[in-house]
């Protein structure tokens, strides 16, 4: 649904905008209780059976946007409960990050085959004949599937000449590559947090907007108003996300109007990551490890820890581009606060790791940043260009699309060790990532460099993006072509890489 305006995206934008507007007012969380009435005005519902239900859902969205948990349905609790602790400049996320608002869930059907009105009651009755459980009969001139007998093999749907049998899946469940979504006693979706890696794909797949992640918009703005030097580091997938007028030069200017002291592109950190992963591969594969998996995607990283703990030794321990860039900034500007702005929900939890939280203070998605622009009424066609240095290389910018990480690392290895053959394999989407790791565990990828991306298409398909994936990927490709330097080894920041990794200590699970 990314890039397709809808009531769901409209409500999300309004929540982020209004939370940002209250934060910029500088009066704490005064007015928060009124937001459900402002976002859902009048006395008639927009899309649900009750305006009161719509406001209750918006109330939970507001709490989650401020980093708070949902209120229990069984007891009375003010919307502002706990906000004293959250409405400050230093506040970490408390898991779970991804939440389902139960009374917003539609209780969609799960894994069912149904016969539609397209059934022609044909003489061949192929659907009935191929069914291994005799679950199909003809009732009132149309085929009918007995749900008690059906084993959901799909043979009937494949056999129907009129495509009259459809497969119904719960969208969030189908999108979850970790099989972390089940049902409660009322048929509503629930998340098994032990399995969830916070990729956020369920969030963008739910057409009812029932799945919501926590945010830090309020805390970022509080830090700005407090007088902190707040530096934004922007992921390579940013290009084009805020409209055709939002050029890199205008984006930097607009972000300064929001109160950011400085804006840097994370492509710089991606270049340093490329250098370190290439070094890692040359030093350790195959002498110390069978293959090497890239470290950049936190949800892919966490999936390996949860499902393939015996393979974690094969993950590169190189810092992610986000952390490389944050450490570089804090080395240059001691005492500043760093905000990672990107497409990824899982980065929010990566940032609260005990070995990372001193480097990255806040994480915002592009969608949340858009709310801040709306709150300050910033229009990019009226923003002047800022003078900026384009320091990320084409290779670093390419990290935003699937295959970009492995390509950058493999190309660098080929240049530095031309006698060394580098084979790569990659997967997009956690379900395919799991298949990739099963093959790797079986020894099918010994000597390989493996890239896993939790989102199909790469970072441009993250849960916090605003553009259709194909459009975003093209924007990144064009931006790569405009880079003043193509190769990461020519980055002027190259000498920083080793110094920035000195204090790094890997932990058991990145999320």
pLDDT classification of 504: cutoffs 50, 70, 90? very low
| CA-wise closest residue to 301 among 356, 235, 340 | 356
Q: What CATH number corresponds to the domain at position 127?
A: 3.30.70.20
46: confidence class by pLDDT, cuts 50, 70, 90 = confident
406-415 tens-digit pLDDT: 999 999 999 9
pLDDT digits (tens, 9 = 90+) for 224-251: 999 999 999 999 999 999 999 999 999 9
Instruction: Flag whether pLDDT at 194 surpasses 60.
Output: yes
Q: What is the mean pLDDT of residues 465-487?
A: 95
**Average pLDDT value over all residues in the chain:** 93
Structural domain of 260:
219-500
Q: What is the mean pLDDT of residues 444-468?
A: 97
- Residue 78 falls within a domain, yes or no? no
Per-residue confidence (pLDDT) for residue 3, from 0 to 100: 76
Same domain, 285 and 138: no
pLDDT tens for each residue of 23-43: 999 999 999 999 999 999 999
**Percent of the chain residues topping a pLDDT of 70:** 96
Counting the structural domains of the chain, the total is 2
Are residues 371 and 439 both part of a single domain?
yes
Q: How high is the pLDDT of residue 497?
A: 62
* Range from 313-317, 440-444, 483-487 that averages highest in pLDDT: 440-444
Q: What is the DSSP letter of 237?
A: G
Please report which residue ranges of 66-193 form alpha helices under DSSP H.
83-86, 126-130, 155-159, 171-175
Quick one: 256 and 337 in the same domain? yes
Q: What is the pLDDT of residue 232?
A: 98
- pLDDT above 60 for 327: yes
* 203 inside domain: no
- Residue 307 located in a structural domain: yes
Q: Is residue 191 situated within a structural domain?
A: no
If asked whether residues 140 and 273 sit together in one domain, one would say: no
Kindly tell me if the per-residue pLDDT of 486 is higher than 50: yes
Instruction: Report, as an integer, the average pLDDT of 154-183.
Output: 96
Res 502: pLDDT? 56
The tokens describing 336, both together, are 């500043």
Is the confidence at residue 138, as pLDDT, over 70? yes
C-alpha distance from residue 62 to each of 1, 19, 88, 100, 139 (Å): 21, 7, 16, 14, 49
Q: What average pLDDT does the segment 385-401 reach?
A: 93
Answer whether residue 62 is part of any domain.
no
Q: Are residues 344 and 489 in the same domain?
A: yes
Same domain, 333 and 457: yes
DSSP class of residue 424 equals E
At residue 506 the predicted structure's pLDDT band, cuts being 50, 70 and 90, is: very low
- H-type helices in 230-357, by residue range? 248-258, 267-284, 298-307, 321-332, 346-350
- From 151, 168, 185, give the residue that closes a domain: 168
Mean pLDDT of the region 141-146: 94
Let me know whether 164 and 224 are in one domain.
Answer: no
CA distance 11 to 493: 41
pLDDT in the model for residue 84: 87
Q: Which of 135, 152, 168 is the last residue of a domain?
A: 168
Question: For position 113, what pLDDT does the model report?
Answer: 96
Q: What is the mean pLDDT of residues 397-401?
A: 97
Same domain, 116 and 229: no
């Amino acid at each position: 649904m990314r890039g397709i305006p809808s009531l769901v995206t409209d409500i999300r934008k309004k929540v982020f905008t209004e939370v940002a507007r209250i934060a910029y007012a500088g009066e704490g969380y005064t007015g928060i209780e009124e937001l459900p009435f402002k976002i859902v005005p009048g006395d008639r519902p927009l899309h649900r059976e009750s305006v009161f239900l719509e406001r209750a859902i918006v109330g939970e969205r507001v709490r989650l946007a401020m980093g708070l948990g949902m209120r229990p349905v069984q007891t009375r609790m003010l919307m502002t409960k706990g906000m004293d602790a959250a409405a400050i400049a230093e506040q970490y996320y408390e898991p779970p990050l991804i939440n389902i608002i139960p009374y917003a869930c539609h209780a969609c059907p799960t894994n069912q085959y149904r016969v539609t009105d397209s059934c022609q009651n044909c003489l061949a009755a192929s659907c009935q004949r191929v069914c291994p459980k005799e679950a199909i009969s003809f009732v009132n001139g149309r085929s009918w599937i007995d749900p008690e007998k059906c084993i959901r093999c799909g043979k009937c749907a494949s056999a129907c000449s009129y495509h009259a049998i459809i497969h119904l899946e719960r969208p969030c469940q189908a999108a979850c590559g970790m099989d972390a979504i089940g049902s409660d006693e009322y048929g509503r979706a629930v998340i098994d947090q032990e399995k969830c890696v916070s990729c956020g794909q369920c969030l963008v797949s739910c057409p009812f907007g029932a799945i919501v992640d926590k945010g830090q918009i309020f805390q970022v703005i509080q830090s700005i108003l407090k007088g902190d030097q707040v530096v934004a580091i922007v992921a390579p997938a940013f290009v084009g996300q805020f409209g055709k007028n939002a050029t890199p030069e205008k984006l930097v200017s607009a972000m300064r109007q929001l109160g950011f002291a400085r804006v840097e592109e994370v492509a710089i950190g991606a270049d340093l990551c490329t250098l370190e992963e290439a070094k890692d591969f040359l030093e350790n594969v195959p002498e110390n490890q069978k293959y090497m998996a890239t470290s950049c995607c936190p949800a892919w990283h966490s999936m390996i820890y949860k499902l393939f703990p015996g393979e974690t030794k094969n993950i590169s321990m190189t810092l992610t581009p986000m952390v490389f860039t944050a450490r570089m900034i804090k080395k240059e500007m001691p005492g500043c606060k760093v905000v990672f702005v990107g497409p990824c929900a899982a980065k929010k939890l990566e940032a609260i790791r005990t070995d990372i939280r001193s480097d990255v203070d806040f994480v915002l998605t592009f969608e949340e940043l858009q709310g801040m622009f709306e709150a300050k009424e910033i229009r990019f066609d009226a923003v002047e260009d800022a003078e900026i240095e384009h320091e990320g290389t084409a290779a670093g910018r390419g990290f935003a699309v699937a295959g970009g990480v492995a390509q950058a690392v493999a190309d660098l290895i080929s240049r530095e060790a031309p006698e060394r053959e580098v084979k790569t394999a990659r997967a997009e989407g956690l379900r395919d990532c799991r298949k990739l790791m099963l093959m790797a565990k079986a020894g099918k990828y010994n000597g390989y460099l493996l890239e896993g991306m939790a989102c199909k298409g790469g970072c441009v398909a993250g849960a916090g993006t605003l553009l259709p994936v194909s459009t975003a990927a093209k924007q990144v490709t064009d931006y790569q072509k405009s880079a003043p330097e193509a190769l990461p080894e020519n980055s002027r920041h190259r000498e920083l890489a080793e110094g920035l990794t000195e204090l790094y200590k890997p932990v058991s699970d990145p999320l």
